A and B are shown apart, each in its own frame.
Chain A
Amino acid sequence: MTNTVPKIELKNVRKAFGGKKVLNGVDVSVEKGQSLVIIGGSGTGKSVTLKCILGILEADSGSIKIDGNETRTLQGRKRDVLLDEFGMLFQGAALFDSLPVWKNVSFKLMQARRMPAKEAKDIAVHKLSQVGLGADVADLFPAELSGGMQKRVSLARAIAADPKIIFFDEPTTGLDPIMADVINDLIVKCVHTLGATAVSITHDMASARKIADRIAMIYQGQIIWNGKKEDIDHSGNEYVDQFINGRAEGPIQMQVLKH
């Protein structure tokens, strides 16, 4: 498509837990500044894919390239340097409940980059305003916030250190439709402002349509379809059709029905 090196490139990535093969050779790549959404049912390997790229899990084989450099087996200091470029929004927000909101948001700046507290707090308040939260929220603790606000704080934390790559793990799960749309808008806006490369995983098609440039579908540990967002409705792939229309009948049989 282009002659530039993709920002993220996965080739034949495999990962098994004991005898259970979760990733069966994932091939996918994301161009710089693009937003890829990986869709797929529960337990198909979406989260594991992200964790393998981050190095939280080490893939068994295959190649994971960031900016053309192999990173699959990176450890220690080199991994830390690589992770400095990343930001991630976790499904359950994963805010540190022992720290107030502003320390959560500025965590990377203060702990990893040793920024003085006052400067870090100013940045935290600024980032909170970008996700539509006032300065009064900064001194609250995560437990005092609603689910939607926690997600927004977590988004502010993910973008606080101006990452070049952002991952979104089920950004809209557990939110009401309106708040989900607010989060989607924020994601689009933040990714656009930063010019970052984004990878999201979701099973919420409304969210996928909103935040994606490209959509890839994962099924049984493999990417079975990959294309532009506009093409998803006429993909010609019956698995994709079943998933985006949410039908129980089709080639994808839920495990629960078999037993």
Chain B
Amino acid sequence: MSQEQLIQIRDLVKTKLLKLCQLLGAATLGFFQSTGAFAFFTIRSVSHCIRPPFYMSQFIRQFIDIGYYCLPVVGLTALFSGMVLALQSYSGFSRFSAEGAIATVVVLSMTRELGPVMAGLMVAGRIGASIAAELGTMRVTEQIDALTTLSTNPIKYLVVPRIVAGTAMLPALVLLADIIGVFGGFLVSVYRLDFNAANYVDQTWRYLENMDVISGLVKASAFGFIVTLMGCYFGFNSKGGAQGVGAATTNAVVSSSILILISNYLLTGLFFAK
């Protein structure tokens, strides 16, 4: 009897283990499959960026959508970030009488870090989501297939203009965000903390190097590429109906936000010089 029980238990463990292996295998295969699909999509999109024909009206629409319509939200974020930055660094720096460094701290933090990251995240929420939702709806209502039957490559018509506009417009947005953010710090320092205005402006310029601004703009460009690419990828591959489009939107925003933060560290490391 005990022998029988043992065999039963052994068989049970065997089937359970097999199931576990199957699950693991399926998950691993799925992971590589989606990584491959994503890499293929990226290569295809980028290669189409440099091959004509180009759809000018689409480019213009996307440039306006990303460059112009994101301006209020990015500007507002930058303004308040700069203001908070001035207040917070004051409460820290005043403890060892280093208030004079606030202008430098504000401008460096804005240009090197907060400008690109804040703008990237805001654009991920605004543009990444709208791209994923728009392309996702076009996919589930067969509009993307319709493009193909109308002799128009959907990657060229839908994806390329968005990626190019994102990569090109984010640096412009961030440059404005830098200026607005520094201005926010200036407002707080001068009107709340009673700094001398001329001194503050002078301090802002004194330690600022070209590389601070440029590294921020390069980051911005990378973030713009990430946001639009993720939006397009998830939208393009959305399945099912309303639920599929919803999932695509969430995935686009979440994954582009995470990728922004990770690539932010990598790019900072790249530009970092001791």
On A, residues with C-beta under 8 Å from B are: 51, 54-56, 80, 83-84, 86-88, 90-92, 94-97, 107-108, 111-112, 157, 161, 167
Q: Is the CB of B152 within 8 A of A111?
A: yes
Interface footprint category on B: 10 to 19
Scan residues 90-146 of chain B and give those whose CB is less than 8 A from a CB of chain A. Answer: 138, 141-143, 145-146
List of B residues within 8 angstroms of A83 by Cβ: 148-149, 151
| Chain A min CB distance to B72 (Å) | 22
Q: Judge whether B157 is part of the interface by a CB distance below 8 angstroms.
A: yes
Given contacts A80-B153, A91-B142, A94-B142, contact A56 B148 (CB under 8 A): yes
Cβ 8 A contact of B145, one of A90, A112, A157: A90
Given contacts A111-B55, A111-B157, contact A87 B149 (CB under 8 A): yes
On B, residues with C-beta under 8 Å from A are: 55, 138, 141-143, 145-146, 148-153, 157
Instruction: Identify which of B142, B152, B153 gathers the most chain A CB atoms within 10 Å of its CB.
Output: B142
| A112 and B153 alpha carbons, distance in the complex (Å) | 10
| A54 and B157 alpha carbons, distance in the complex (Å) | 18
Which 10 A-B residue pairings sit nearest by Cβ, starting from the closest?
A112-B151, A94-B146, A94-B142, A88-B149, A108-B150, A90-B142, A94-B143, A83-B151, A84-B151, A111-B152
Q: Is the CB of A54 within 8 A of B149?
A: yes
| Chain B min CB distance to A168 (Å) | 12
| Chain B min CB distance to A59 (Å) | 16
- A–B Cβ pairs within 8 angstroms, 14 of them: A55-B148, A56-B145, A80-B151, A84-B151, A90-B142, A90-B145, A94-B146, A95-B143, A95-B146, A97-B143, A107-B150, A108-B152, A111-B151, A112-B152
Q: Is the CB of B151 within 8 A of A94?
A: no
List of A residues within 8 angstroms of B146 by Cβ: 88, 90, 94-96
Q: Is the CB of B143 within 8 A of A51?
A: no
For A167, the closest partner residue in chain B by CB is B149
Q: Is the CB of A107 within 8 A of B152?
A: yes
List of B residues within 8 angstroms of A161 by Cβ: 150
Total A-B residue pairs with C-beta atoms closer than 8 Å?
51
For B137, the closest partner residue in chain A by CB is A97
| A88 and B149 alpha carbons, distance in the complex (Å) | 7
Q: A87-B149, A95-B146 are in contact. List 15 more A-B contacts (CB 8 A).
A: A51-B145, A54-B149, A84-B151, A88-B146, A92-B142, A94-B141, A94-B145, A97-B143, A107-B152, A108-B150, A111-B152, A111-B157, A112-B150, A112-B151, A167-B149
For B157, the closest partner residue in chain A by CB is A111
| A112 and B157 alpha carbons, distance in the complex (Å) | 11
For A55, the closest partner residue in chain B by CB is B148
| Chain B min CB distance to A93 (Å) | 8
Cβ 8 A contact of B148, one of A54, A91, A92, A97: A54
| Chain B min CB distance to A148 (Å) | 17
Cβ 8 A contact of B149, one of A86, A92, A96: A86
| Chain B min CB distance to A77 (Å) | 10
| A107 and B55 alpha carbons, distance in the complex (Å) | 12
| A107 and B152 alpha carbons, distance in the complex (Å) | 9
List of A residues within 8 angstroms of B151 by Cβ: 80, 83-84, 108, 111-112
Instruction: Identify which of A51, A54, A111, A167 gathers the most chain B CB atoms within 10 Å of its CB.
Output: A111
| Chain A min CB distance to B40 (Å) | 13
| A83 and B148 alpha carbons, distance in the complex (Å) | 8
List of B residues within 8 angstroms of A94 by Cβ: 141-143, 145-146
| A87 and B151 alpha carbons, distance in the complex (Å) | 10
For A160, the closest partner residue in chain B by CB is B150
| A111 and B142 alpha carbons, distance in the complex (Å) | 18
List of A residues within 8 angstroms of B138 by Cβ: 96
| A157 and B55 alpha carbons, distance in the complex (Å) | 20
| A55 and B151 alpha carbons, distance in the complex (Å) | 12
| Chain B min CB distance to A69 (Å) | 18
| A107 and B57 alpha carbons, distance in the complex (Å) | 13
Q: Is the CB of B141 within 8 A of A92?
A: yes
List of A residues within 8 angstroms of B55 by Cβ: 111
List of A residues within 8 angstroms of B152 by Cβ: 107-108, 111-112
List of B residues within 8 angstroms of A157 by Cβ: 150
List of B residues within 8 angstroms of A88 by Cβ: 146, 149
List of A residues within 8 angstroms of B149 by Cβ: 54, 56, 83, 86-88, 167
| A56 and B236 alpha carbons, distance in the complex (Å) | 13
| A64 and B63 alpha carbons, distance in the complex (Å) | 41
Instruction: Identify which of B55, B150, B157 gathers the most chain A CB atoms within 10 Å of its CB.
Output: B150
For B148, the closest partner residue in chain A by CB is A56
List of B residues within 8 angstroms of A97 by Cβ: 143
